[in-house]
């Protein structure tokens, strides 16, 4: 595959990636940019070869140390057996109408989430982990159990290309349904704005933990949803009910920001207390933040 440019780091920027029309190319370029960035960042100690190697542990045989890896990283890694890399990951994407929101000159939350899902799936299959994919809105719209083949990756990317936001949000009910369908525990990654009843959503997230899954919550917002910096009279339309309301945003901006802060802090605090990894993203955030959260989690699961 020939990239449009060799400057891979630019493909970590949402506004650059939004100009590409091929989802397979998007996934590949974002992952290449991420790996290039790892080599140039303070995180270079993380091995992108973690599917084939793991760090030396007391009790491992010295003869298993890979001295070539040591020469490149100054760390001891040993060859890993195939069965040690058999992670099953479940990527879950919210495709309800609230995810269609996009402020001026931004991509929508759904498109941003699709790019994250595509890059994660690409990275997982590249590292020989099995990945599954689920889409939900007010119900589970698609459930694909985990597999580790490139042909399966193509099907996931095909589903992402066709994806449209629709219907109301029912995150809690959908997540409970998905939790019951997962028969073999693994890593669950949920990508959503989580605009639903927070108490009910947290109960659903705990359902995954009760079944011994590791969980990463990736909450995606538009920058304007965090700042409410509209600056002029505006008509607000509920994307799920089509209800409209005229308001002067600057009159309620401070109160809105206070409520949004409490909303986000609730998820952050509750996730921490239940050993769920939480990462807050907006549609202007470079993609490497999400991928690094996954890689960091993957390293800790060994």
DSSP annotation string for the chain:
---S-S-GGGGGSHHHHTT---HHHHHHHHHHHHHHHHHTSTTTTS-TTTTTEEE--TTS-GGGB-HHHHHHHSS-EEEPPGGGG--EEEEEEE-SGGGG---TTS--HHHHHHHHHHHHHHHHHHTT-EEEEEEESSSEEEEEEEE--HHHHHHHHHHHHH----S---HHHHHHHHHHH--S--EEEEEE---S-HHHHHHHHHHHHHTT-EEEEEEEE-HHHHH----S-EEEE-TTT--EEEE-HHHHHHHHHHHHHHHHHHHHHHHHHTT-EEEEEETTS-THHHHHHHHHHHHHT-
Q: Which range has the worst mean pLDDT, 58-72, 95-109, 138-152? A: 58-72
Domains and CATH numbers, the chain: 27-83 (no CATH), 86-300 (3.40.50.410)
pLDDT in tens, 224-273: 988 766 656 555 555 566 666 556 555 667 777 888 999 999 999 999 99
pLDDT greater than 90 at residue 221 = yes
Average pLDDT of the segment spanning 213-218 = 97
Kindly report, residue by residue over 37-69, the tens digit of the pLDDT: 776 654 444 444 444 566 666 666 676 777 776
pLDDT reported for residue 65: 75
pLDDT at 229: 64
pTM for this structure?
Answer: 0.81
The pLDDT, as a whole number, for residue 226 is 86
């Amino acid at each position: 595959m020939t990239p449009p440019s060799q400057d891979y780091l630019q493909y970590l920027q949402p506004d650059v990636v939004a100009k590409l029309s091929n989802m397979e190319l998007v996934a590949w370029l974002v992952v290449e940019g991420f790996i290039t960035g790892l080599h140039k960042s303070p995180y270079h100690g993380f091995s992108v070869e973690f599917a084939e190697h793991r760090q030396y542990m007391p009790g491992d045989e010295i003869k298993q140390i890979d001295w070539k890896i040591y020469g490149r990283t100054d760390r001891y890694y040993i060859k890993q057996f195939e069965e040690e890399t058999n992670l099953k990951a479940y990527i879950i994407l919210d495709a309800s109408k609230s995810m269609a929101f996009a402020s001026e000159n931004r991509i929508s939350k759904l498109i941003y989430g699709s790019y994250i899902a595509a890059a994660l799936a690409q990275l997982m299959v590249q590292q020989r982990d099995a990945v599954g994919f689920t889409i939900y809105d007010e119900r589970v719209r698609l459930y694909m159990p985990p597999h580790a083949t490139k042909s399966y990756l193509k099907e996931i990317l095909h589903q992402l290309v066709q994806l449209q936001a629709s219907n109301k949000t029912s995150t809690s009910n959908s997540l409970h349904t998905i939790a019951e369908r997962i028969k073999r525990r693994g890593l669950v990654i949920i990508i959503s704005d989580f605009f639903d009843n927070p108490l009910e959503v947290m109960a659903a997230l705990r359902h995954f933990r009760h079944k011994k899954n590791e969980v990463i919550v990736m909450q995606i917002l538009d920058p304007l949803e965090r700042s409410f910096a509209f600056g002029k009279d505006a008509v607000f339309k509920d994307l799920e009910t089509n209800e409209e309301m005229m308001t002067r945003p600057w009159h309620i901006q401070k109160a809105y920001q206070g409520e949004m802060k409490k909303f986000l802090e609730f998820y952050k605090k509750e996730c921490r207390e239940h050993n769920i990894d939480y990462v807050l993203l907006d549609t202007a955030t470079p993609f490497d933040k999400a991928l690094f959260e996954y890689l960091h989690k993957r390293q800790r699961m060994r």
